[in-house]
Structures are given as C-alpha cells and as structure tokens.
Chains A and B, each alone.
Chain A
Amino acid sequence: EAGVTQSPTHLIKTRGQQATLRCSPISGHTSVYWYQQALGLGLQFLLWYDEGEERNRGNFPPRFSGRQFPNYSSELNVNALELEDSALYLCASSLASDYGYTFGSGTRLTVV
C-alpha cells in the first residue's frame, strides 16, 4: 500500500511569490491534514480537509489556503510568501477513525 506522498520534496521561492504544495493520501483515506514544522517551533496545525470540505483551520493568516479534490488529494497554497514561511510542511491522512494520522515525508519550503 502506498503511503502519503507529497510533492515537491524541496521548493525554493522568492519573498512575495506563491507556493503550491501537493499531497496524495493513502488510498481510502478521506481526511487530509496540513501541518507546518518551522525550525524550533514544533508542529503547528494548518488545515483539515474531509470529503472535499475545509473542516478546521489553525491560527494562520488567510494567505494560507488549500483545497481537497474529489480523489481526496489536496493542495496547500501559500500566497505572498514571507521569509518566516520557510519550514517543513507535512501532510497527513486518516480515516475518520481513532488510529492517528499517517504522515508524508514533507515538502521543505525555503523562502529567500
């Protein structure tokens, strides 16, 4: 069974540009979660999508947005990039069950 896949693995952008990060969940998983892991700051919850709808979002500005497609894959978009957006962005998927999430390997975004 394929795990959660994220692309690209690395992304370098200039301040003010837009970044698009992609995530494919485990087959059959309907929920996708996005987390930001900035250096020294742990994992901060960004967004939760389930069945194509945004179910919850963390304490991030509106320039962080995303969507979930009918095949349950997801995109995270970050507009007007700032230097402090540099981080590892982790995607996870789950069933609506209680067994935790399965994480992808992440996309490392560097803003210069």
Chain B
Amino acid sequence: GEDVEQSLFLSVREGDSSVINCTYTDSSSTYLYWYKQEPGAGLQLLTYIFSNMDMKQDQRLTVLLNKKDKHLSLRIADTQTGDSAIYFCAERTHAGNMLTFGGGTRLMVKP
C-alpha cells in the first residue's frame, strides 16, 4: 500500500539550514516530489527526484533519497523568512498516475 509520512513542524533561524524528512512505504515509487504551499495558495512544485537517483541539487535545495530505508529529505540552505510555508512530499508509483502526498511539514523561519 501507499503511505507517506512527514513530521508536522520544523522551526529554524534565518540563515540556518532546514532539513525536512519524509518516509514512504511503496517500493515501486518511480518519482518523488517536494511541493511548497504558502498560506491561502495552491501547491508549487519545488523539485523532484527519480527513484534511481541518490541526490539532486537545485540552487539552495538538496534532495536526498535513501531507497533502502524509503527515506526522502529536503535540505534548504541559508533558510529565509520567505521559505516559511508547508512542505509536502509526494510519491508517484507504477500503480497509477496519481501522486500520494504526505501530511505536510510546517516550516517556521525565525528572524
């Protein structure tokens, strides 16, 4: 079955790095995604990683994938107050074209 889990809350100071973690259960996942949702808005695709990759870097964002442990993380370097939002991880499997989302991690960045 498909189940994606995230911690609920993360608080960091401006300028620090943030690491948001996610675990999933479906080993047939093909792609894994990170989305950002700001208050009152829809979801913005931040980055994605194919399941045969270990790491992907995109400017301040680094995604790490541990397939053995089914663990995905998003690292945000030099976190800014504008990064405060809810971050969702999601997986896509061979079972269909739908994405299954985690419950979201609320990131709070303190000045």
Interface residues of A (CB under 8 A from B): 4, 31, 33, 35, 42-43, 45, 48, 50, 55-56, 90, 92, 94, 96, 98-106
Q: Are A98 and B31 in contact (CB under 8 A)?
A: yes
* Docked CA distance A12–B96 (Å): 33
Least distance between A9 CB and chain B CB atoms (Å): 10
Interface of chain A: mostly helix, strand, loop or mixed: strand
Is residue B43 within 8 Å, beta carbon to beta carbon, of the partner chain? yes
The 5 lowest CB-CB distance pairs between A and B, nearest first, are: A103-B42, A42-B103, A103-B43, A43-B101, A105-B42
Question: Which chain B residue has the least Cβ–Cβ distance from A9?
Answer: B40
Interface residues of B (CB under 8 A from A): 30-31, 33, 35, 41-45, 48, 50, 88, 90, 92, 96-104
Q: Is the interface of B mostly helix, strand, loop or mixed?
A: strand
Shortest beta-carbon distance, B25 to chain A, in Å?
16
Taking a contact as CB atoms under 8 Å apart, the answer to whether A48 and B88 are in contact is: no
User: Given A103-B43, A104-B42, A106-B42, are A42 and B97 also a contact pair (CB < 8 Å)?
Assistant: no
Query: Which residues of the other chain, B, contact A4 by a CB distance below 8 angstroms?
Result: 42
Name the residue on A nearest B88 (C-beta). A43
Q: Closest B residue to A33 by CB, please name it.
A: B98
Q: Contact check, A98 vs B50: say whether CB atoms are below 8 A apart.
A: yes
Whole-angstrom distance between the alpha carbons of A98 and B50 in the complex?
Answer: 9
Query: Whole-angstrom distance from the CB of A23 to the nearest CB of chain B?
Result: 11
Specify which chain B residues have a CB less than 8 angstroms from the CB of A96 in the assembled complex.
97
For residue A92, which residues in chain B have a CB less than 8 angstroms away from its CB? Answer: 43
Task: Report yes or no: A101 in contact with B99, Cβ–Cβ below 8 A.
Answer: yes
* Residue in A4, A33, A50, A103 with the greatest tally of chain B CB atoms within 10 Å: A103
Report whether A100 and B98 are in contact in the complex, using a CB–CB cutoff of 8 Å.
no
